[in-house]
Structures are given as C-alpha cells and as structure tokens.
Amino acid sequence: MMRSAIAIFKRDFKKFLSNPFIIMMTLFMPIMYLVIFGNAFGGTLSHIPVGVVQEVPPYNDTPLFTDAVYQLNHISQTDADKLLDVTVYSDEAAAKQDLANGKLSAVIVFPSSVSNDNAVRLYVDSSDSITPPLVEAAVNQVLLGIGAHNPVTVDKIYGDIKYLQFFGVGVIMMAIFTATMFGGGIALIKDRENGIHEGYLVTPIKRSSIIMGIISSGTVRAFIAGFTIFWIDLLVTGIILQSFQDFLLVLLVILIACVGVTSLVVSFASRFASQQEYSSVIAFLNLILFMTSGAFYPVIGMPGWLRWITVINPEYYGIHALRSIILRNQGLNVIGIDLIALLVFSTAMIVLGIVTFRRTLE
Amino acid sequence: MHLFSHEKLPATDDEKNETSTYRSDYIPDSSIPPFSRDGSAPDGTAIIRINHLSKVFAGKTKTVTAVNDVSFDVNRGEIFGLLGANGAGKSTLIRILTTLLSPTSGQAFVDNYDITKDPEKIREIIGVCAQNYTSDSELTAYDNLEFYGKLENVPDNILPDRIWELLKMAGLADRAYMPVGTFSGGMKRKLEIVRAFIHRPLILFLDEPTIGLDPEARREVWQQIMMLNAEHTTIILTTHYMDEAEKLCGRIAFVERGKLIALDTMENLRKLIPAGDLIEIGVDHMDPHAEEAIRNVTLVNAVSVVEHTVTISATNGSRVIPAILAVFEQYAIPIISISIRSPSLEDIFIYLTGKGLNNGDEQETPGKGGRRPL
C-alpha cells in the first residue's frame, strides 16, 4: 500500500514542480489578499467631496461661514490625507444638483445669521452608508471648534439605506464574474486541453468568429446569473425600484457589464492552454477586481495606487451605474459615463482576445 | 448509401457500375450547389506541391526534426499514401499542409495557395480527419455534424439532409441524438471520417483513418474513401497499415525519421527489392548450417531468420521449394508452417528501412501465474 501511495505522491508532486506558474500563483494569492484586502477595507476615507453654501441674503459671507469652510477644508487625519475636499457654492440649488448627480457626497448649508437657533442643514448621499456619519461628525466637530452652537439637521437624500443594500448591488456584479469564471472561455481551454480544437482550426472559421461566439455565449450565461441575483437582491434587501425605466436601465447596465467582464476573461482564455493555469489567473483577477470595485467599501477609502486599478476595472463602473439607478434613482446623465467606460473596455478586450488567439497549434 | 452499415447494396448496383451509381447518388444536382469543388478531373497535374519542407521542434532540452527536407507532389484526383512508423513525421507533415503548423523552412502549395500566405483559402477547400478524436464528446453526433457543417459553410437548406446522409453512412443514424462521449472508439472514428467530408472538400486529409476499427469497419471506410476518390476528391492518407496503403493508394511515400525515403506507385516500389517470391517457413529453432545450405540452393537470393520465421527470397518460389525442404530434412528441422507469396509493401518497407513497422510486438512466454518475467 505504501509503495502505491508513494507512487501517487511522486506523480502529483512531479506535476506540481513542473509547473512553476501554479507554484507562483499559489503564493501570490495570499500575498494579494493581504495587500488588497487590507488596503481596500481598512483604509481611511479621505478627500470626501462636499459642497458648502450659505443661505442668502446676506450676499456677503458671515464669519461663521468663512471660519467653518476653512476648518472643514483642513481636517487632517493621522494616517491619511485630509478628510474633506470642500467646494464653495453660491447657489444652494446648484450644490444640491451636484449632490444628486453624485459629484458630491454631501452639501452643508450654513444659515445666514450666526444666531444659535438657526440650524446648519446637512444633506448627505445616503446611498453609501459609510461616508455620511464621517461628514456629520466633521461638521459637528468644526462647529464646536469655532464655538458655534447651531443645531445640525441631517437630511438623508435617499432615505435610510442599510449596508446590506449598499453591498447587495455589488453582489450582482459578483454573480456576473462568477458566471464568467465557469463560462467565459473555459470551453476554449477545454478544447485546447483535449486537443479537439484541431478539428475546427482546419475549417475556414475566423479568429474573430471564435472569440465573438464565445463572448456572446459567456455574456448570456453571465446575464442570466446577474439578472437572477438582481431579483434575489431586491427580495433580500427590500429595495423597491422607482420606475419601469429604472428596471430597463438596470437590465442595460447588467448586459453591458456582462460584455465587459466576459470579454476580459475571454481575452485571457484566448492564450491559455491549461485549465489549471487559467483558473488560477481568473481567480486572481476576480479577487483584485471585486475588491477594488467599491462593492464592499467606498473607493475613496482606498490608497491612491489602488484607486488607479478602479479606473480600468469594469466592475467599478458596473457597480457605480447599478447603485446610481437602484439606490439613487439616477438616470443616463449620471451612468452614461459608466456605460461608455464599459464599452470602451469591452472593445479593447475583444480586440485583444482576437489578436492573441492562436489560429495554429503552435 | 449505407457504407458503414452492414446492409448489402443491391447486387446490380454493386456489380454493374459502382462508380456511376455512386456518383448519380452523390454528385449534387442543380438544386444542391457544390460548395467547394472546382469540378476538375484527375488529370495528373499537381494539386499539392512541397518543396524542401522542414519542421524543427525546439524543446528546452532537445531539438527534434520532425520533417526533414521533404519534397514531393500530390496529383489532382489521386489517393496518396504517406506510410511510416509511429513518430516518422506523417502527422506533422499533414498538420503543416492543413495550416495547423507553419514550416520551419521550405514551401508548400495546396491548390496553388501558399500554405504560409493563404491559409484561409486552403481551409476552404480541405477536409481533415485528424488522428486523435476531435468531436465534442458532450454534444450529440447530430450536433457535432451540425457544428462542423456550419463552420464549413454548408448552406442551411441542405445541411439537415446532409447530416442524416452522413449519419446513415456511418451507421450512426439510430444514435444521432446520443452524446459522442457514449460512443465506442470505432463509432467515434466513423463519425470523424464522415465529418471530414461534410462539405465535399476538394482535398481530403485522413490521418490514420482506420486506426482502432474492426476489420469490417475498415473495409467500409476503404470503400468510402474509394467512392469519394471516384468523384474527384484528392485524398491524402497516412497509415502504418501496409494492407491499407496497398489496397487504396495510387502512389505511396515512405517516410522515416522525417525524411522521404521512397515515393512511387506500388508496382514500381515492388521493383525496388530483388525480384521473386517470398517463402516463409515457421520453425521451432534454426540451425546456422541449414541457413547456409539454403543460401546455396540455386535461385535463392536471400535468407533471413527472425525469431521463429525463416524468410527466403527466391526467383521462382514454387520451383525452389523442394530443394529447400530437402535441406530442412537433412538437418532434421521440423517445419511448423510454410507459405509462399509475392513481396508485400511491408517487405519493401523492411528492405528500405531495415526494420518493420510494428517492431515491438514480440511475443513473450508467460511466466508463473500468467505473469511475464520482469
């Protein structure tokens, strides 16, 4: 019995040693967990964009306003950059518009008189449950610091949104990615591993047809997953969509996000020849993209270098667009940029997949 | 046509004019346009030209020259055989010609298209049956054929009929909707072969088409190949079965270690070895003196002893036998079997390369408990 057990051991170990790529990935994964996980969630929020505005009249700034703005703009944090990026607005409506469009996380409206019974009004983007308390605490701290005793009223513009609801939207994207892990391009790798690609490589089929075909199939599979999880998400978190138009927009975003993520995964599949190597790379991609997508935690909590990944991360745009529609009832004017980013990304990945696909056995 | 099935064709069809019967059934009529056929007749002009083709695989530790400076032509409309032992370079050559591998040096043209410059054009006119199974085992036989029919641009309006025609040919009509993974090796093989000509290609490459088939199925595949050839399909097949090459191929190329060592018709190849018949005598043991004595018999050209077989090449086999038998009697060597035949392709191959195709099939006597000694 020992002899055969040793034989099995030797066989397995030989295979392990003969594949340095897998050895590297085995070690790489936990290191990435350490770096990405640690930085993506433990991070301190900084540079939160807030708008400040003073009620009119009077048309000249009160000392309270001037002091408060200066103080708010200079809240330093021990292990991170300053907390708030303050923009001064002269028009309350313009400030609120930018809040509604997602350009600001909060708007602080100061009363025209310093009198203590005039409240400071704070409007916060409550679709993100982590930022508002920070802004509120900052405002209270500044008012206390300059000796003003005005009460602060907080208006959560999207109502009370729980963390579960915030996170639930991210899970839709995770469903899409999980579907692509099993569906996106794995068929190509299996064909290559079993040698059955030799059969169709001698037919007149074009590389672009192979890649487009596999992306289409992967997209449909991912869409089914994303759409199902979307419904489950609504049921579990109790979110109610505001209109049928929102529903259609959600479908559009899920579809385009599916194209983006699938084409990314397939562009990798076009080159790999072993399922094991491919899976380890895709698992790694899944980790880094999901962690930096903002699904768990606002991206402004991430260090600068990690935020750069979000710029090329299709999941970031997908989650941003889905939150805009589902939690904030925003329209194409806000999510348009996300859709454009996703489409540009998809196109680049499709081209990459086609160019790198090997049309021969070499 | 039930070419793989065990049904017998009507005798009249078989006997009267097999070719014309086949073609009237097979050549598409006006309602079915030919998809990849230029209609040219076998005219002896080259459809494949290979000039000093080489393929070197550079590994980390070892470089292997799989194809070594090979040049030859394949004529339009012929059945061309590439013969060689395992690893001789036949499949590599086929893969280069079917655009799956690029040559390290040299040139090759398939129907005047350069394999390195116009691979797309070549893929449109060829059909390939690879040596390993390339059907998707998760799909059914029908789905596999449909998949390839679409890739090969078979028009949608005739594809279903074409698929059923091929399934019947392969004797798989009753298994059309079963996953290929449940098929036996022979059934898979038949499916692969019919799939290769779903689009009626101009040139058909068959890499070891009958490997793993039972004798009955092999004959059916041969019949199929001959019928396809009768409708002007040029066929290039690789094999290590001598009988297959002898039966099918107009011209035969011997390949050994990547090199072309002989290329000619069967008739001309026969002339390469000393004229005469081969007498094979089975014995228990052989006496070197007896071997010498046989060599001295008039009309005997050569004698060789391999294991328990004495092979004698003689100018006129039947006339020389009594003299040979007398030698065996003289040395008291009991004869187990005796046969006389014309030299086969295998003999030519052995003559040219100094070894057989299936060396390694030597019999060993079982030890105790049916276990062979280690």
Contact predicate B130/A198, CB 8 Å:
yes
Indicate if the pLDDT at residue B78 is higher than 90: yes
Give B365 to chain A, closest Cα distance, Å.
Answer: 27
Mean pLDDT for A79-105 is 87
Q: What is the pLDDT of residue B279?
A: 87
Give the phi and the psi of residue B88 in degrees, each rounded to 5: -80, -20
Confidence grade of residue B3 (pLDDT, cut at 50, 70, 90): very low
Q: What is the mean pLDDT of residues A53-63?
A: 79
CATH of residue B278 = 3.30.70.100
Q: Which residues in B lie closer than 8 A to residue A196 (C-beta atoms)?
A: 133-136
For A44, other C-beta atoms within 10 Å of its C-beta total: 14
Q: To the nearest whole angstrom, how far is the Cα of A188 from the nearest Cα of chain B?
A: 12
B231, B28 in Cβ contact below 8 A?
A: no
Put simply, the answer to whether A202 touches B124 (Cβ < 8 Å) is no
Domain boundary among A156, A183, A211: A156
In this complex, the residue of A191, A203, A362 whose CB is nearest that of residue B148 is A203
Q: Are residues A114 and A137 in the same domain?
A: yes
Whether the predicted pLDDT of A184 surpasses 60: yes
Q: Are residues A176 and A263 in the same domain?
A: yes
Same domain, A188 and A247: yes
Whether B80 has its CB under 8 Å from any CB of chain A: the answer is no
Q: Is residue A231 part of a domain?
A: yes
Q: Residue A244: which domain range?
A: 163-356
Instruction: Please indicate, yes or no, whether residues A264 and A309 belong to a single structural domain of this protein.
Output: yes
Rounded Cα distance, B318 and B279, in Å: 9
What pLDDT does A279 receive?
A: 85
Hey, are the CB atoms on B152 and A198 less than 8 Å from each other?
A: no
User: Domain limits at B100?
Assistant: 46-134+181-269
Among B251, B269, B287, the domain boundary falls at B269
- Chain B nearest-CA distance from A212, in A, is 14
Give B138-149 pLDDT, tens digit per residue: 999 999 999 999
pLDDT in tens, A123-141: 998 888 788 888 999 888 8
* Co-location of A145 and A167 in the same domain: no
Whether the pLDDT of residue B320 is over 70: the answer is: yes
Give phi and psi for B335, each to the nearest 5.
-95, 130
CATH, residue A145: 3.40.1710.10
A76 assigned to some structural domain: yes
Residue B108 in domain: yes
Query: Does residue A39 fall inside a structural domain?
Result: no
A306 domain-assigned = yes
Cα angle for residues A163, A166, A172 (degrees, 5° grid): 130
B99, B102, B135 ranked by CB distance to A196: nearest: B135
**Binary contact (B101, A203; C-beta < 8 A):** no
Residues in A touching B151 (Cβ below 8 Å)? 200, 203-205
Query: Are residues B122 and B78 both part of a single domain?
Result: yes
Contacts with A, B 85-114, CB within 8 Å? 95, 98-102
At residue B13, the pLDDT reads 38
Query: Are A212 and A85 in a shared domain?
Result: no
What whole-number distance in Å separates Cα of residue B181 and Cα of residue B138? 6
Residues A188 and A280 in one domain: yes
Do residues A82 and A213 both lie within one domain? no
Q: Which of B123, B154, B194, B202 to mutate to test the interface with A (most CBs of A within 10 A)?
A: B123
Question: Rounded to whole angstroms, how far apart are CA atoms A207 and A209?
Answer: 5
Residue B320 sits at the vertex; the CA angle it makes with B315 and B322, to the nearest 5 degrees, is 170
- Using the structure block, give the residue that is written with the tokens 């006997």: B15
Kindly state whether residue A149 falls inside one of the protein's structural domains. Answer: yes
Number of domains in chain A: 2
Mark which residues 123-152 of B lie under 8 Å from A by CB: 123-124, 126, 128, 130, 132-136, 147-148, 151-152
Has residue A261 been placed in a domain? yes
Q: Which residues from B are below 8 Å from A213, CB to CB? A: none
Tell me whether residue A257 is in a domain: yes
Point out which residues pair with B311 in neighbouring strands. Answer: B280, B304
Indicate whether B36 belongs to any domain: no
* Identity of the amino acid at A219: T
If we measure between CA atoms, which residue out of A294, A306, A40 comes closest to residue A169? A294
The per-residue pLDDT for range A157-168, each reduced to its tens digit, is 888 888 888 888
Same domain (yes/no): B102, B71: yes
Structure-block tokens of residue A56: 């009119």
Residues B331 and B301 in one domain: yes
- Is the domain of B189 the same as that of B130? yes
Q: What angle do CA B156, B158, B160 make, to 5 degrees?
A: 85
Number of domains in chain B: 2
| Six-digit token string for B1 | 């046509």
- B57 and B99, same domain (yes or no): yes
Which of the two residues, B155 and B300, has the higher pLDDT score? B155
Complex prediction ipTM:
0.80
**Domain end marker among B211, B237, B269:** B269
Mutating which of A202, A214, A217 best tests the B interface, going by the most B Cβ atoms within 10 A? Answer: A202
Last residue of a domain, one of A127, A156, A185: A156
Q: How big is chain B by its Cα radius of gyration, in Å?
A: 24
Residues of chain B contacting residue A191, judged by C-beta atoms under 8 Å apart = 136
Tally Cβ neighbours within 10 Å of residue B231.
14
Is residue B188 domain-shared with residue B319, that is, in the same domain? no
Whether the ω angle into residue B119 lies within 30 degrees of 0, i.e. cis, is: no
Residue located via tokens 């001598």: B242
C-alpha distances in Å from residue B34, one per residue of B26, B39, B126, B198, B232: 11, 9, 14, 11, 13
By the 8 A CB rule, do B229 and B247 touch?
A: no
Nearest to B216 by CA among B6, B22, B8: B6
Residue with tokens 């993974």: B181
B310: enclosing H helix or E strand: strand B309-314
Asked if pLDDT for residue B33 goes beyond 50, the answer is no
Closest in B102, B132, B148 to A360, CB measured: B102
Same domain, B77 and B186: yes
Burial degree of A92 (CB within 10 A; 0-12, 13-18, 19+): middle
Lowest mean pLDDT among A159-163, B1-5, B175-179, B242-246: B1-5
Q: What is the mean pLDDT of residues B75-95?
A: 91
DSSP B182: G
Q: Tell me, what's the pLDDT at B357?
A: 55
Chain B residues inside the 8 Å CB shell of A20 = none
Query: Can you say whether residue B318 is alpha, beta or left, with left for phi > 0 and alpha for psi between -120 and 50 degrees?
Result: alpha
CA distance A100 to A109: 15
In a domain? residue A237: yes
Q: Does pLDDT of B56 surpass 60?
A: yes
Count CA atoms closer than 13 A to A99's CA, side-chain side.
30
Residue B108 φ then ψ, to 5°: -150, 140
Is residue B317 situated within a structural domain? yes
**CATH number of the domain where residue B255 is located:** 3.40.50.300
Q: Are A202 and B99 inside 8 Å of each other by CB?
A: yes
3-state per-residue secondary structure call for A329-354: CCCHHHHHHHHHHHHHHHHHHHHHHH
A206 and A266 part of one domain: yes
Of B100, B132, B153, the CB nearest to A204: B153
Residues B254 and B295 in one domain: no
Position B144 scores a pLDDT of: 96
| Percent of chain B with pLDDT strictly greater than 90 | 41
Are A151 and A175 in the same domain?
no
Identify the pLDDT of residue B177: 96
The answer to whether A359 contacts B95, with C-beta atoms less than 8 Å apart, is no
Question: Pick from A156, A185, A208: which residue ends a domain?
Answer: A156
Query: CB-based contacts of B243: which residues, under 8 Å, 6+ apart?
Result: B344, B345
Give the C-alpha separation, A101 to B197, whole Å: 61
State residue B200's pLDDT score.
92
Binary contact (B119, A203; C-beta < 8 A):
no
DSSP calls for B246-273 = HHH-SEEEEEETTEEEEEEEHHHHHTTS
Q: Is B118 on the interface with A (CB under 8 A)?
A: no
Statement to judge: residues B219 and B323 lie in one domain: no
pLDDT in tens, B199-214: 999 999 999 998 878 8
Q: Give the pLDDT confidence score for residue B100 in this predicted structure.
A: 93
Chain A: residue whose CA lies nearest to B121: A204
Among A116, A121, A115, A106, residue whose Cα is nearest residue A55: A121
**A151 contacts A139 by C-beta, under 8 angstroms:** no
pLDDT higher at B298 or A232: A232
- Cβ contacts below 8 Å, chain A against chain B, sum to 54
Residues A149 and A221 in one domain: no
B21: in domain: no
Name every residue in A having a CB less than 8 A away from some CB of B.
191, 195-206, 359-362
* pLDDT, position B355: 63
What is the rounded distance in angstroms from the CA atom of residue B157 to the CA atom of residue B144? 17
B43 pLDDT band, cuts 50/70/90, is: low
Contact A356, A267 (CB under 8 A): yes
Minimal CA separation from B224 to chain A, in Å: 20
Mean pLDDT, chain B, integer: 81
Q: Are residues A201 and A274 in the same domain?
A: yes
Report yes or no on B9 lying in a domain.
no
